[in-house]
Chains A and B, each alone.
Chain A
Amino acid sequence: MTASRGAGAFRPVVLVPHLIALGLYTLAAALALAPFAGLRPAPRALGLGVPLLGLAAHVIGVARLTSFLGVAPTLSMLALFLVALQAASEGLFRASAVGVFTGPLATGLLGLALLIGLAPEGPPASGRGAWSILHITVSVFGLAMLALAFIAAALYLLQFRELKAKRFGPVFRLFPPLERLDQLNHLALVLGFPTVTLGVLLGFGVRYAGGASVDAAQVVWGMLTWVVLGWAVGVRVVRHWAGRRAAFASIASFAAVLLVYVALKLAAPGTQRFL
Chain B
Amino acid sequence: MSITVLGVNHRTAPLEVRERFAHEPREVPASLARVLAAGARGGVLLSTCNRTEFYLAEPDEAVPEAVWAILSERLGGGRSASEYGYTRRDRDAVRHLYRVSAGLDAMILGESQIQGQVRDAWETSKAQAGPVLHRLFQSALLVGARVRSETGLATGAASAPSAAVAVAARIFTRLAGRSALILGAGDMAELAATCLASEGVRVTLVANRTYERARAIAEQLGARALTLDEAWEHFTHADIVLTSTAAPHAVVTWDRVAPAVARRQGRPLCILDLGMPRDVEPAVAQLENVFLYDIDDLQAVAAQAAAERRDDIPAAERIVGEEVERFWAWYGGLVVVPVLKEFRERLDQVRAAELERALRRLSHLSPDDRGEIEHFSHTLLNKFLHQPTIALKEAAQAGRGYGMLEALKRLFGLERRDDP
Contact = CB atoms under 8 A, between A and B. Distances in A.
Interface of A: 159, 163-164, 166, 168, 172-173, 175, 177-180, 183, 240-246
Contacts of A172: 170
Interface string B173-205: 100000000000000000000000000000000
- 9 nearest A-B pairs in the assembled complex, by CB-CB distance: A242-B266, A243-B266, A180-B173, A179-B173, A166-B297, A168-B301, A179-B172, A178-B171, A163-B291
A105 B301 CA distance: 32
Given A168-B304, A172-B170, 15 more contacts: A159-B170, A164-B285, A168-B297, A173-B304, A177-B171, A178-B170, A178-B171, A178-B172, A179-B268, A183-B173, A241-B266, A242-B266, A243-B288, A244-B289, A246-B266
B213 interface: no
Contacts of B297: 166, 168
Given A163-B171, A172-B170, A183-B173, A240 B289 contact: no
Contacts of A180: 173
Given A159-B170, A172-B170, A241-B266, A166 B289 contact: no
Nearest to A246: B266
B188 to A, nearest CB: 18
A233 to B, nearest CB: 16
Interface of B: 169-173, 265-268, 285, 288-289, 291, 293, 297, 300-301, 304
A165 to B, nearest CB: 10
23 contacts: A163-B170, A163-B291, A164-B285, A164-B291, A166-B293, A166-B300, A168-B304, A175-B170, A177-B169, A177-B170, A178-B170, A178-B172, A179-B171, A179-B173, A240-B266, A242-B265, A243-B266, A243-B289, A244-B266, A244-B288, A244-B289, A245-B266, A246-B266
Nearest to A166: B297
Chief secondary structure at chain A's binding surface: helix
Contacts of B268: 178-179, 243
B173 A240 contact: no
A172 B169 CA distance: 10
A82 B14 CA distance: 47
A92 to B, nearest CB: 12
Nearest to A241: B266
> For A163, A173, A246, which residue has the most chain B Cβ atoms within 10 angstroms?
A163
B340 to A, nearest CB: 57
A166 B163 CA distance: 13
Nearest to A242: B266
A110 B288 CA distance: 39
A168 B302 CA distance: 10
A164 B287 CA distance: 10
A110 B387 CA distance: 90
Contacts of B289: 243-244
Interface centre among A166, A172, A173, A242 (most CB of B within 10 A): A166
B299 to A, nearest CB: 10
Contacts of A164: 285, 291
A179 B300 CA distance: 23
A173 B171 CA distance: 11
A175 B169 CA distance: 11
Contacts of B304: 168, 173
A190 B288 CA distance: 24
B273 to A, nearest CB: 12
Contacts of B291: 163-164
A173 to B, nearest CB: 7
A191 B300 CA distance: 39
Nearest to A179: B173
Contacts of B170: 159, 163, 172, 175, 177-178
Nearest to A175: B170
Contacts of B266: 240-246
Contacts of A163: 170-171, 291
A164 B270 CA distance: 11
Nearest to A239: B265
Contacts of B301: 168
Nearest to A167: B300
A148 B301 CA distance: 30
B173 A177 contact: yes
Contacts of B169: 177
A93 to B, nearest CB: 9
Nearest to B293: A166
Contacts of B267: 242-243
